[in-house]
Amino acid sequence: MKRTCLIFISLLLTACGSTLMTPHALSSLERLTGGQLAGDASSLYWTGIRQSRPEFLSERVWMGDYGEYQTEYRWREGQLRELKRTGTALKDDALRPFELHVRYDQHGEAVFQRYKLGESVFPLSDTQLNQLSQQAEQAVAVVKAQSRDGLELVQGVWDGQRLIRCDDHSEYKVNWQHFQVKPGYVAMVAKSDGRGQLTAETVLLSRKVSQSCLSPPVLLDAS
């Protein structure tokens, strides 16, 4: 009887473990960063990948005279389920604040949307809704490709001789290649050689004044 009970308890624990410790839960979250230049737009990305599928993406985008914005995206089981964006956009020759919030169902259909520009609220077309999801997927693809090449988003202050990263204050020499960078704050996509030198692939932002390290925007409620 005692042996039977021990076997039963062992099987019960095994069953509970297999139920609670799913492959998804066991797999680690990979946090990646990157960015890109597209026309006049400079974008900085922070994303989380689990089992090759995105779980979240945050971005900061500057569009020159056309405004700027920040977005947070959230996926579930590989499907984009929610996004929120805030910023400024050019309308009638003036920059106006806007806010955009969309929720999707498990089939990718928008079940909630709100787009407010200035004091007016506008509906989003199916084309615009599809563009938003495509922007998210494209940004994740960019970061994944950069990570495969050993590239990441690097922020810091360049003093003309060295770069001091603003995340851990470590010092690096920089191979700027063909870029002309003046002392000040810099955000770039770069590769480290592991020995204290960075090679700049793309300079995303270069500002003459020092500033705090830019962090990923948090716009959505915790799930």
- Per-residue pLDDT tens over the stretch 81-104: 999 999 999 999 999 999 999 999
Mean pLDDT of the chain: 90
Task: Please report the pLDDT score of residue 2 as a whole number.
Answer: 47
Residue 8 CA to residue 31 CA, distance in Å, equals 41
Helix (H, G, I), strand (E, B) or coil at 126: helix
User: How many beta carbons lie within 10 A of that of residue 99, not counting itself?
Assistant: 15
Helix (H, G, I), strand (E, B) or coil at 140: helix
Task: Please report the pLDDT score of residue 27 as a whole number.
Answer: 83
The CATH number of domain 151-207 is 2.40.50:
yes
Task: Please report the pLDDT score of residue 13 as a whole number.
Answer: 39
Domain spans of the chain? 27-148, 151-207
